[in-house]
Amino acid sequence: MENFEASVGYGWYILTGAWATVQLTVFSCAVALVIAMVTGVAMTRNSHLLRLVARFYVEFFRGTSVFVQLFAAYFVLPLIGITLSPIQAGVLALGLNGGAYGSEVVRAAINAVGRDQREATIALNLTGWQALWWVILPQAVVLMLPSFGNLAIEIMKGTAVASLITVSELTFQAQTVRSQTGDTAIPFLLIMVTYLAMASLMMSFVRWLEKRFGRGITSEST
């Protein structure tokens, strides 16, 4: 009985880390989405400078380890007067890293919109930005959603690296229980199930968005 109560207590302790994981996931995805949209659009513009800056950002954050980016956010930024909490450092690193990968998704989706759509915007005498906002992006978003869903799940799984800077998320809590009890199987089995449940919820939400946005595009085109 005592072992059962202890197991329940440790299980609950591990699950309390889910809130930190959710926070990291939501805020990191928000940062990644904003950066991906801005950078992805910049890579499709005619400005050579915009494309150059966007490409440098993408190659830098895709070409360096998220571990290094996390440590830089938490340990290096204070050297120049920018001190972040562990959660803030985790959100910054994961958001910037995810945004670099998301930028390519945005760029590819925009370029995938049919040439006839672009020609129609010229016929309507729309400016480049009006065409992007009112015609190109609404269609591109539908193409982006599956890849953005996968990226969100990768960011969610990547939140485990935040345990390295003492963020009390799922992995950190499981490691704490393992060090205190010597039990490895139950703590990590529990967080595996929790990650799977969170990923399933996220993909269900993305599929709903696909249907919702897809319906809107279909109704507009008929």
Domains of the chain, earliest start first? 2-221 (1.10.3720.10)
CB contact set of 168 (below 8 Å; sequence gap of 6+): 16, 17, 20
CB contact set of 62 (below 8 Å; sequence gap of 6+): 97, 100, 101
Q: What is the pLDDT of residue 7?
A: 61
Q: What SS3 state is found at 82?
A: coil
Ranges of the chain whose pLDDT falls below 50: 1-2, 4, 218-222
Over residues 90-111, the pLDDT tens digits come to 999 999 999 999 999 999 999 8
